[in-house]
RNA sequence: GGAGAAAUGGCAGAGUGGUCGAAUGCGGCAGUCUUGAAAACUGUUGAGGGUCACACCUCCGGGGGUUCGAAUCCCUCUUUCUCCGCCA
């Protein structure tokens, strides 16, 4: 959520930069300015009326105490009119404030100057490409066939138990998945992130805090009986650790990491590009989250990108980094880098990580602040990224590391798997 | 799931209708003293809105109500604790 004070001061600039997302924000920004102006007028009126009421009440109290009950009762008559005014202005103010908030909820974050123009993923800017694309032997298979051949992932069984998009991992497949989780967590904690185990459900306030609610509730599984949501990413419980928190400046930066399953409804998309592990309703992910001083957040973003890069290098997977264009940027992000690995049998790039700086967009909703050098509360910046998402990494390992003798295990994972080939 | 108790500032803890944004202690910060530190002493120390700055308004778990006036009374929700039951 953008800050009203920012919109007041820089409305022209904000409109210009939102145009990079291909939206014409002028009407809604003008509405925000109007509503804000009206809201503040009402607030001033309400404050003045309340001040009058308070003074009157005090006077009445004093009169009663000094035994002048008749004078006090005479004053009481005057209060009822003030009371009515307070009630009606208060109601109008609340309505206005809610309407203003609804508007603000609908405005996406302002893109950073580095965000390229564009409409779709085709306009994303490739900033780096690294790693060897392996030459596969004749008869190499896509991962869904490998999964069946070596009996390590059972999609049909998942269908039976839960439905499409809920695969069952078995034997060495399950072990490889667990190895990846442990390896990722170790890499993250070695880089200074503190490991957390977080709830896999969140309440409504948390969903609002990170921007999934309102409006995007369709993407989350909703447990209506208890009004809880299955998390679509550890970002939601992880970032909400800091909801309504005022940190000391010396607490920054904060880095946390956590493994969670992620649940996404993502209804209405079927076909070859979502086959196998490419897109699921439940998948595993290890997330990194940072809380940063505003002056350091872009440096931190670069650090996160370098960190994820390091992991992909160690796994010896061919990858590329994309700077997302305005049309592809998520609602809350100011700047996002996507990581894609090349899955050699499908011959496709698969997104395995998305690293973003949200600046104050989330912290404004969360009320996540720190006391700055002047002793004032200032919104912190939040960032997060996948480090890493499991299924597509697993898919690319299966495909890229396949040989006629079986699927080799990347060197760094061997201590975690305890075996060096799936055959 | 049943019965009872409670929720106040960073923490502990007073406060049952007005002078309470809230005693007191601890902690934090600044100062005095000291070569330095500790101790002691003095001062200061919640958040949000609003203002050039003041004024002023709001907040004692959340929401609603009674009253001229609510931390204090009433209703409701949530959470925590104790006892009982169940349980990985």
Q: What CATH number did the domain enclosing A345 receive? A: 3.30.930.10
Rounded to 5 degrees, what are φ and ψ at A71? -60, -40
Q: A37 CA to B64 C1', in Å?
A: 29
Are the CB atoms for A59 and A75 separated by under 8 Å?
Answer: yes
Asked if A83 and A171 sit in the same domain, the reply is no
**Domain boundaries, position A16:** 4-106
* pLDDT confidence of residue A270: 61
Q: A351 CA to B88 C1', in Å?
A: 38
User: In the listed set A106, A140, A171, which residue is the last one of a domain according to the structure?
Assistant: A106
Asked if A184 and A89 sit in the same domain, the reply is no
- A17 annotated as belonging to a binding site for a ligand: no
CA distance linking residue A295 with residue A37, whole number of Å: 30
Asked if A401 and A347 sit in the same domain, the reply is yes
Answer yes or no: is A114 within a domain: no
**Within a 10 A sphere around the Cβ of A206, how many other Cβ atoms?**
22
Are the CB atoms for A383 and A290 separated by under 8 Å?
Answer: yes
Using alpha carbons, select from A340, A344, A328 the residue that is nearest to residue A127.
A340
CA distance linking residue A417 with residue A411, whole number of Å: 10
* pLDDT confidence of residue A23: 92
Domain count along chain A: 2
273-302 on A, CB < 7 Å from strand B: none
- Scanning every strand, the nucleotide with its C1' closest to A78's CA turns out to be B68
Asked if A169 and A70 sit in the same domain, the reply is no
* pLDDT confidence of residue A194: 93
Q: A78 CA to B72 C1', in Å?
A: 26
Asked if A141 and A94 sit in the same domain, the reply is no
Answer yes or no: is A142 within a domain: yes
The tens-digit pLDDT sequence of chain A (423 residues) is 888 888 888 888 999 999 999 999 999 999 998 888 888 888 888 889 998 999 888 888 888 878 788 888 888 888 888 888 888 888 888 888 888 888 888 899 999 999 999 988 899 999 999 999 999 998 899 999 999 999 999 999 999 999 889 999 999 999 999 999 999 999 999 999 999 999 999 888 888 888 887 776 778 898 887 788 899 999 999 998 888 888 888 888 999 999 999 999 875 556 666 788 888 999 999 999 999 999 899 999 999 999 999 999 999 999 999 999 999 999 999 999 999 999 999 999 999 999 999 999 998 888 888 887 777 788 889 999 999 999 999 999 999 999 999 999 999 999 999 999 999
- A264 annotated as belonging to a binding site for a ligand: yes
Q: A38 CA to B50 C1', in Å?
A: 14
Asked if A55 and A200 sit in the same domain, the reply is no
Q: From the Cβ of A51, is strand B under 7 Å away?
A: yes
Tell me the angle at which helices A26-65 and A4-18 cross, rounded to the nearest 10 degrees.
170
Answer yes or no: is A89 within a domain: yes
Rounded to 5 degrees, what are φ and ψ at A408? -75, 160
What are the residues whose beta carbons fall under 8 Å from the beta carbon of A75, sequence distance 6 or more?
A56, A59, A60, A63
Q: Cα separations (Å) of A395 from A106, A133, A263, A350, A392? A: 36, 15, 19, 9, 5
What CATH number has the domain bearing residue A21? 1.10.287
Answer yes or no: is A74 within a domain: yes
Whether the bond between A388 and the residue before it is cis, its omega within 30 degrees of 0, is yes
> What are the start-end ranges of the E strands in A8-138?
125-130
Whether the bond between A81 and the residue before it is cis, its omega within 30 degrees of 0, is no
Q: From the Cβ of A89, is strand B under 7 Å away?
A: no
First to last CA, chain A: 51
* pLDDT confidence of residue A272: 61
Asked if A142 and A48 sit in the same domain, the reply is no
Q: Cα separations (Å) of A126 from A122, A157, A322, A324, A366? A: 10, 38, 4, 9, 32
**DSSP helix/strand/coil, A372:** coil
Answer yes or no: is A111 within a domain: no
Answer yes or no: is A113 within a domain: no
Asked if A96 and A215 sit in the same domain, the reply is no
What are the residues whose beta carbons fall under 8 Å from the beta carbon of A71, sequence distance 6 or more?
A63
**DSSP helix/strand/coil, A167:** coil
- Scanning every strand, the nucleotide with its C1' closest to A62's CA turns out to be B18
Asked if A323 and A285 sit in the same domain, the reply is yes
Using alpha carbons, select from A330, A238, A331, A352 the residue that is nearest to residue A290.
A238
Q: From the Cβ of A8, is strand B under 7 Å away?
A: no
CA distance linking residue A396 with residue A381, whole number of Å: 33
């Amino acid at each position: 959520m953008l800050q009203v004070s920012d919109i007041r001061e820089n409305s022209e600039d904000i409109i210009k930069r939102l145009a990079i997302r291909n939206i014409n924000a002028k009407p809604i920004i003008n509405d925000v300015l109007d509503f804000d102006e009206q809201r503040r007028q009402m607030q001033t009126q309400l404050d003045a009326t309340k001040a009058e009421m308070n003074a009157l009440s005090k006077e009445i109290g004093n009169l009663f105490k000094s035994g002048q009950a008749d004078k006090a009762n005479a004053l009481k008559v005057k209060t009822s009119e003030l009371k009515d005014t307070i009630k009606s202005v208060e109601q109008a103010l609340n309505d206005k404030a809610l309407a203003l908030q609804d508007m603000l909820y609908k405005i996406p974050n302002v893109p950073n100057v580095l965000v390229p123009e564009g409409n779709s993923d085709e306009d994303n800017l490739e900033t780096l490409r690294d790693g060897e694309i392996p030459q596969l032997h004749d008869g190499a298979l896509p991962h869904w066939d490998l999964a069946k051949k070596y009996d390590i992932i059972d999609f049909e069984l998942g269908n039976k138990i839960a439905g499409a998009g809920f695969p069952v991992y078995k034997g060495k497949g399950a072990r490889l998945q667990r190895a990846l989780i442990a390896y990722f967590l170790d890499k993250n904690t070695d880089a200074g992130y503190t490991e957390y185990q977080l709830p896999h459900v969140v309440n409504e306030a948390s969903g609002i805090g990170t921007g999934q609610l309102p409006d995007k509730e369709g993407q989350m599984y909703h447990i209506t009986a208890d009004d809880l949501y299955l998390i679509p990413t550890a970002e939601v419980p992880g970032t909400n650790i800091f909801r309504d928190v005022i940190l000391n400046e010396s607490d920054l930066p904060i880095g946390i990491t956590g493994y969670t399953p992620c649940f996404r409804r993502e209804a209405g998309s079927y076909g070859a590009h979502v086959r196998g592990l490419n897109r699921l309703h439940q998948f595993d992910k290890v997330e990194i989250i940072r809380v940063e001083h505003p002056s350091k957040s872009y440096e931190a973003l670069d650090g996160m990108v370098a960190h994820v890069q390091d992991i992909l290098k160690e796994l010896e997977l061919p990858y590329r980094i994309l700077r997302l264009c305005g049309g592809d940027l998520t609602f809350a992000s100011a700047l996002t880098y996507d990581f894609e690995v090349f899955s050699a049998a499908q011959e496709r790039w698969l997104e395995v990580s998305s690293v973003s700086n949200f600046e104050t967009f989330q912290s404004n909703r969360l009320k996540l602040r720190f006391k700055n050098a002047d002793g004032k509360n200032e919104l912190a910046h939040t960032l997060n990224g996948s480090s890493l998402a499991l299924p597509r990494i697993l898919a690319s390992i299966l495909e890229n590391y396949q040989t006629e003798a079986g699927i080799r295990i990347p060197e760094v994972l061997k201590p975690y798997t305890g075996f060096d080939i799936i055959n």
